[in-house]
Amino acid sequence: MTAPDQPEISQPSPEETALPVPLLYRDAMMLVIDKPAGLPVHRGPQAKRRVIPVLTDHLDALRFGLPRKPEAAHRLDKDTSGCLVLGRHPRAMAELNQMFRDGRIDKTYWAICEGGPAEDQGLIDLALGKQSPERGWWMKPDPAGLPAQTRYRVLGRGRGAAGPLCWLALEPLTGRTHQLRVHCAASGFPILGDEIYGSAGRDAGPGLQLHASSVVVPLYRKRPPIRVEAPPPAHMEAALSACGWLPKP
């Protein structure tokens, strides 16, 4: 089975091939890159303790003639791959930030989960709060926390070495930290390879199986929304194939 929103992959130009990260889209206002799994967007506490690459180290190569480096307009976890939107100048950043705050930018993620939901589509409505001050960004279901909603759709089901798997399309309707990972785990189908909320300690596999597959940005009033898609990363292909995904020729 091939999902209807599987990305069309165009051939990059020589200029784009030399970039430190794959470029999916560029215009005068924004860039969309395909962030590799394992690359932090910012130099947070973990990156400061150890000398590891972060996306901000490479932003100068993404100026394309503008005097300023672009900036990330939203977040992706270090181990999540896929579409990341960057604003190219202050006015663009202000517009993109407002659009994300207003929920006008649609994001779809692909996830491979252990087990899976009984229904083929639904809504996870579960407020989230921090686990504790000592745990930093780690989150937990919390009735007194911030509202959080995720729409899900089953794209395929299969089996892995450790049991049943499910390929989900996840649409976050809110933007809480670790929302998709906590929502899936709390619903009984943790994302494969999740070291915090899943069973990665028992079966770590090739890494977190969560990918920002597409983003839709209505950036220009007189033009159709910009839809950008990122192909799944290599470390997810085996599990996706087990759930019925077929790569395009």
Tokens of 75: 């977040």
Q: 29-38, 127-136, 211-220: which range is least confident on average? A: 127-136
Burial of 210 by CB count in 10 Å (0-12 exposed, 13-18 middle, 19+ buried)? buried
**Minimum mean pLDDT range among 12-21, 175-184, 232-241:** 12-21
Burial class (CB in 10 A: 0-12, 13-18, 19+), 131: middle
What's the pTM value of the predicted model, to 2 decimals?
Answer: 0.88
Domain at 14-242: CATH code: 3.30.2350.10
Cβ neighbors of 5 (< 8 A, separation 6 or more) are: 108, 169, 213, 214, 229
**pLDDT(50) > 60:** no
Query: Using one digit for the tens of pLDDT, what is the confidence trace for 205-218?
Result: 678 999 999 999 99
pLDDT of residue 44: 63
Which of 34, 77, 79, 194 is labelled catalytic? 77
Is the pLDDT at 27 greater than 80? The verdict is yes
28 by Cβ neighbours in 10 Å (0-12 / 13-18 / 19+) ranks as exposed
Confidence of residue 43 (pLDDT cuts 50, 70, 90): confident
Residues β-bridged to residue 81: 211
Assigned token pair, 200: 């990665």
Burial 177-202 (b: 16+ CB within 10 A, else e): bbbbbbbbbbbebbbbbbebbbbbee
Among 89-93, 138-142, 181-185, the range scoring the smallest mean pLDDT is: 138-142
Mean pLDDT confidence for 218-234: 95
Overall average pLDDT of the 139-148 stretch: 94
H or E, element range at 99:
helix 90-102
Which pLDDT does position 4 carry in this prediction? 41
Non-local (6+) Cβ contacts of 206 within 8 A are: 193, 235, 236, 238
| Cβ neighbours, 10 Å, residue 42 | 11
Domain borders along the chain are 14-242
24: confidence class by pLDDT, cuts 50, 70, 90: very high
* Average pLDDT rounded to a whole number, residues 154-176: 94
Instruction: Please provide the size of the chain in residues.
Output: 249
Task: Judge whether 27 counts as a catalytic residue.
Answer: no
Residue 222 has pLDDT above 60, yes or no: yes
Q: What's the mean per-residue pLDDT of the chain?
A: 88
Residue 103 backbone zone (phi > 0: left; psi -120 to 50: alpha; other: beta) = left
Percent of the chain with pLDDT over 70: 86
Q: 51 pLDDT exceeds 80?
A: no
